[in-house]
Chains A and B, each alone.
Chain A
Amino acid sequence: MQFHQHTLDNGLNIVAESNPDVHSVALGFFVRTGARDEASELNGVSHFLEHMAFKGTERFTADDVNRIFDEVGAEYNASTSEEVTLFYGAILPEYLPQTFELLSGILYPTLRQNDFDMEKKVILEEISMYQDQPMHVAYEAGMLKHFSGHPLGTSILGTLESVGALTAEQMRQYHADHYQAGNITLAIAGNFDFDQIVDLAKQHCDHWPSGTLDRPIHEAKPQGGISIVTQESRNQQNIVQMTPGPAAQDELRFAAEILSVIVGDDGGSRIYWDLVDPGLVEFAELGYYDYDGSGSYMTWLSCQPETTEENLARIQAIYETVNKEGVTEVELEQAKNKVASRVVLRSERPMGRLSSLGSNWVYRKEYQSVADDLVILRGLTLDDIRKCLDAYPLGACTTAAVGPLKGLQID
């Protein structure tokens, strides 16, 4: 594998990892914009805009976009998070030129009024669809409460009201402000020739407006609390708890990641053995999520309503023990072995490398090979985990609950 990097005059970042032994190539445009970059009256615009990209450009109609992607047999899609809007595709190398032209083209869509009106209906359906998924409702309620007053407390989808009120003109302005070349990273992994990539980028992206966007990335200082959404028709209680963790730029993030595996992975973790294995809950996990300037541990729980408080107390007891005593050498070694294998398996396909390649550049302007990742992982010590726990103890600063319960007592 070989790393390549180039920056166009307008500031577009290009990072690439070539591997002649694979059969495909994956490319993705990582636009550093998402829900956290939206003014409150624009809530939902980043995600809506991601949909509008597929509605076409001056050169390609909406039908053309879907048709051409299918004609080249692309595995393609887009996603929007709190911080990044990503447009990506994986293809056979012979289709790189036309896929590149199309994928780069849709980042600057025409945003026609009739397309905007039609797609708004689809977005409103998507919002309704997620309302039927209780864990998603809990996640949204948790983020809103935990990051209240901070940009990260902005819903990705927006609400029926905020999206309903958005205008095409507002979207055009948001696009002009955020889709500037210096704010975009093109990541490519797999079987390609880098000279060809640079030529394609010059041909199709050179005219993009230059400029970058500064986003405030002060660390969130959550006040915490409880948010209860009572839905009596549900059978289960769905809970998301959040507490601060290291940010994406913090060296402690590696320790936080492995700690979350030891304590709350979906199998073989402390939470697993204490709650899932005995059948006390349907689902319980701890995950670590890093953001620009902030970070969060999230506890996920689904169980019978009447056992919720008891189960949350069990999880809290695990956290208190870990905060006080740390974890064991045996647990650390086991988690390292498990994670190392995941890294290798995921990296085997170009699509599996794309996310880590792009994110490392977007967040830290760095390249990390699979070998680099494994060296860092192998080097983690109990001392690193102790430092992480001292700075960011596990806990339940904020709790969001969705289900039949009308209230929740948490110690």
Chain B
Amino acid sequence: MQQQSIHTHQFKNGLMLIVEEMPGLQSAAFSFLVPAGSIYDGPGKNGSAAMLADWITRGAGARDSRELTATLDNLGIAHSQSAGSENITFTAASVADRVTDGLEIFADVILRPHLDEGQFEPVKLGAEQSLIAAEDDPQRRAMVELRKRSFSAPWGLSSDGSLEDLPNISAADIRGHHERCFHPNGAILGVAGNVDAKAVIEAVGQHFGDWEQKDGTVVEPGDRGPKRTFIEHESAQTHIGVSYDSVSFPDADYYAAWAAVSVLSGGMSARLFTEVREKRGLCYSVYASQSSLKHEGRVLCYAGTSNERAQETLDVTLQELKRLGDGIDESELQRCKARAKSSLVMQQESSRGRSGSLASNWFFLKKTRTLEEVRQKIDALTVDSILEYVRRRPAQDFTVLTIGPEELKVND
């Protein structure tokens, strides 16, 4: 793995900056995490963070909404902003010499948004439309509802919000969310690309150095939803979601957990694809993925299949999940390692990918982690170490959610 040049700098107000110099690239990108995600929405106000992520770009600093968009477009800065469970994330990518312009503009967006009253109703209407449209997509709905039942509240709640809470959210609530949650302590900025770290540190200091600290809000994990759910829906397919316990991102077992899921679903030769789709032709889409948060983790699985074959699909899927403890072949592990190595090397071609990883690694681990360190951790995995993990934390106690015309029986 090529030697990486990663620099970290914490500003006096707590803002954490991680910069990776990638001189081979033409581009640069940043990923800015502000601890204002949907877990801070508050009871009965689910959707506040998502609405703030929209409202916040509709005018900031000296620019109104249209001027802001025109400036970003003219600078060629591709950008997005979205609410996740923990953070509102601002991302931007451009040719490398425009990245400091981007930081200047996003300092306005983050620190000096207008949050004009006149823009609130359109934001709310837009949020309502997208929640209504999501109900029309049973595959997406299955995973949203599965998450609700898999993670502790409020982490499991949809970061898009809910139609029940939406009418109760006022402009004052959203302004309050911004006031309460937008602070430099806990905020993380990852910058990667053809940049000079020193110049970036200087620019960030200039634009964000005066940002004032505030006390953070502590959110305690609550309950998870029910283990068994059937949602009746007139659809061509039955959509099946299954989840079970895994480990958090900082957990020492994280890589073993990742490898276990990779054996199940890490490529087209992995078990779920082979057994459910290739050998039995039960579905087009079937997968499992590791979903780790700071304090807990789950494996989330999905399969979509025609209604008359849904029971068999659920049975075979659960059987494959449970069978993992029976044994893993050395060749299966080797394929996981090969895929991981390739993906790590290819990350070096992407400033966007790296800036995201820099920020999220710091968020979860409070430290940087080079691609070489990750490679070594993956290389150190053995069949025995993965099996030891799987036997200690077997796939069991499943949460199962189905959407379709008929309820299925869970044979676990």
A330 to chain B, nearest CB (A): 8
Q: Is the CB of B268 within 8 A of A69?
A: yes
Among A23, A91, A119, residue most surrounded by chain B Cβ atoms (within 10 Å) = A23
Q: Which B residues are in CB contact (< 8 Å) with A340?
A: 76
Asked if B341 is an interface residue, CB under 8 A from chain A, the answer is: yes
Which chain A residues lie closer than 8 Å to B66 at the CB level?
A: 273
Any A CB within 8 A of the CB of B43? no
- Asked if B5 is at the interface of the complex by the 8 Å CB criterion, the answer is no
Q: Does A369 contact B (CB under 8 A)?
A: no
**Which of chain A's residues have a CB closer than 8 A to the CB of B58?**
277
Looking at A129, A235, A335, which has the most chain B CB atoms within 10 Å of its CB?
Answer: A129
Q: With A341-B77, A344-B95, A349-B350 in contact, do A73 and B343 touch (Cβ < 8 Å)?
A: yes
Taking a contact as CB atoms under 8 Å apart, the answer to whether A279 and B346 are in contact is no
Report A274-309 CB contacts with B as 1/0, cut-off 8 Å.
001111111100000000000000000011100000
Chain A residue nearest to B343 (CB atoms) is A73
Give min CB distance, A327 to chain B, whole Å: 14
Q: In whole Å, how far is B272's beta carbon from the nearest beta carbon of chain A?
A: 12
The residue among A132, A303, A349 with the most chain B CB atoms within 10 A of its own CB is A132
A345 near B236 with CB under 8 A, answer no
Contact partners of A198 in chain B: CB under 8 A: none
CA gap between A90 and B342 in the complex, in Å: 9
Identify A341's interface contact among B94, B137, B273, B306, CB under 8 A. B94
Q: How many residues belonging to A are interface residues under a CB distance threshold of 8 Å? A: 65
Which residues of B are found within 8 Å of A322, using beta-carbon distances?
A: none
A119 cross-chain contacts in B, Cβ below 8 A:
281
Chain A positions within 8 Å of B281 at CB level = 118-122, 125
- List the one stretch of B24-32, B203-211, B243-251 in contact with chain A: B24-32
Output the nearest chain B residue to A338 by Cβ-Cβ distance.
Answer: B73
In the assembled complex, the Cα of A71 lies from the Cα of B270 at a distance in Å of 11
- Most chain A CB neighbours (cut-off 10 Å) among B93, B95, B133, B135: B133
Interface string of A124-136 (1 = CB under 8 A from B): 1110110111100
In the assembled complex, B125 has its CB within 8 A of some CB on chain A: yes
Contact mask B133-145 → A, CB, 8 Å, 1/0? Answer: 1011111000000
Q: Does A2 contact B (CB under 8 A)?
A: no
CB of A236 within 8 A of CB of B133, answer yes
- Is A268's beta carbon under 8 Å from chain B? yes
Q: Is the CB of A129 within 8 A of B304?
A: yes
* Cβ–Cβ contact B269 & A67, under 8 A: yes
Taking a contact as CB atoms under 8 Å apart, the answer to whether B348 and A23 are in contact is yes
Contact with B along A1-41 (1 / 0, CB 8 A): 00000000000000000000111100000000000000000
- Are A304 and B129 within 8 A (Cβ)? yes
Q: Is the CB–CB distance between B283 and A63 below 8 Å?
A: no
Residues in A with CB closer than 8 Å to B277 are: 122
Indicate if the CB atoms of B136 and A235 lie closer than 8 Å: yes
Q: Is there an interface contact between B282 and A121, defined as CB atoms closer than 8 Å? A: yes
Interchain Cβ contacts within 8 Å, total number: 185
* Residues 233-264 (chain A) with a chain B CB within 8 angstroms: 233-236
Q: How does the 8 Å CB contact mask read for A334-354 relative to B, with 1 for contact and 0 for none?
A: 110110111011001110000
Which A residues are CB-close (under 8 A) to B338?
70-73
B74 at the interface (CB under 8 A from A): yes
Task: Choose the segment among B10-18, B116-124, B166-174, B217-225 that binds chain A (4+ C-beta atoms closer than 8 Å).
Answer: B116-124
Which residues of the partner chain B approach A129 to less than 8 Å between Cβ atoms?
Answer: 139, 236-237, 284-285, 304
Q: Shortest distance in angstroms between A112's beta carbon and chain B's nearest beta carbon?
A: 13
Which of A63, A120, A303 touches B129 (beta carbons < 8 Å)? A303
Q: Which of B272-310 contact A (CB under 8 A)?
A: 273-274, 277-285, 304-306
Do B95 and A74 touch (CB < 8 A)?
A: no
A55 CB, min distance to chain B CBs, angstroms: 9
- Asked if B212 is an interface residue, CB under 8 A from chain A, the answer is no
Roughly how many angstroms separate A125 CA and B283 CA in the complex, as a whole number?
Answer: 6
Which B residues are in CB contact (< 8 Å) with A67? 269, 331, 335
Bound Cα distance from A243 to B335, whole angstroms: 48
- The residue on A at minimum CB distance from B266 is A70
Whether the Cβ atoms of A63 and B269 lie closer than 8 Å is yes
Please state if B268 and A54 are interface contacts (CB–CB under 8 Å).
Answer: yes
In angstroms, how far is the closest chain A Cβ from the Cβ of B66? 7
Distance of A66 Cα from B352 Cα, bound (Å): 29
CA distance A122 to B304 in the complex (A): 11
Please state if B135 and A235 are interface contacts (CB–CB under 8 Å). yes
The reply to whether B266 and A122 contact each other, CB–CB distance below 8 Å, is no
**Minimum distance in angstroms from A136 CB to a CB of chain B:** 11
From residue A318, how far is it (CB to closest CB) to chain B in Å?
16
| Interchain nearest-CB distance for A37 vs B (Å) | 24
Closest A residue to B277 by CB, please name it.
A122
Q: Tell me the minimal C-beta distance from B135 to chain A in angstroms.
A: 5
A304 touches B132 (CB 8 A): yes
Chain B proximity of A198: nearest CB distance (Å): 25
B267 near A70: Cβ-Cβ < 8 Å: yes
Are A277's CB and B334's CB within 8 A? no
A125–B70 CB distance below 8 A: no
Minimum C-beta distance from B95 to chain A (A): 6
A118 to B276 alpha-carbon distance, docked (Å): 11
Q: A69-B267, A92-B342 are in contact. Are A22 and B349 (CB under 8 A)?
A: yes
Which residues of chain A come closer than 8 Å to B2, judged between CB atoms?
A: 23
User: Would you give the shortest CB distance from B314 to chain A, in whole angstroms?
Assistant: 15
Q: How far is the CB of B90 from chain A (nearest CB, A)?
A: 14
In the complex, how many angstroms separate the beta carbon of A356 from the nearest chain B beta carbon? 16
**Across the interface, which residues of B come within 8 angstroms of A219, CB to CB?**
none
- 0/1 interface trace, chain B 74-86, chain A, CB 8 Å (1 if under): 1111100000000
A118 to B266, CA, bound (A): 22
Cβ of B382 under 8 Å from chain A = no
Residues from chain B with a CB closer than 8 A to the CB of A349 are: 346, 349-350
- What's the nearest-Cβ distance from chain B to residue A334, in Å? 5
Closest to A341 in B: B76
The listed residue (A70, A71, A281, A345) touching B78 by CB distance below 8 A is A345
Q: Does A279 contact B349, Cβ atoms closer than 8 Å?
A: no
Alpha-carbon separation in the docked complex, A281 to B130 (Å)? 9
Chain A CB within 8 A of B339 CB = yes
The residues of B that contact A235 with a CB separation of less than 8 Å are: 132-133, 135-136
Query: What are 13 residue pairs bridging A and B, where the CB atoms are less than 8 Å apart in the complex?
Result: A23-B346, A63-B269, A67-B335, A70-B269, A75-B343, A125-B282, A125-B304, A132-B236, A236-B136, A278-B125, A333-B74, A337-B74, A338-B78
Q: Besides A125-B281, A128-B237, A337-B76, 14 other CB < 8 A contacts?
A: A21-B24, A23-B345, A66-B273, A69-B268, A72-B338, A75-B342, A121-B281, A122-B283, A123-B284, A279-B122, A282-B129, A282-B132, A337-B75, A341-B95
For the complex of A and B, 8 pairs with smallest distance between CB atoms = A279-B125, A341-B76, A73-B342, A121-B281, A282-B129, A70-B267, A66-B269, A279-B122
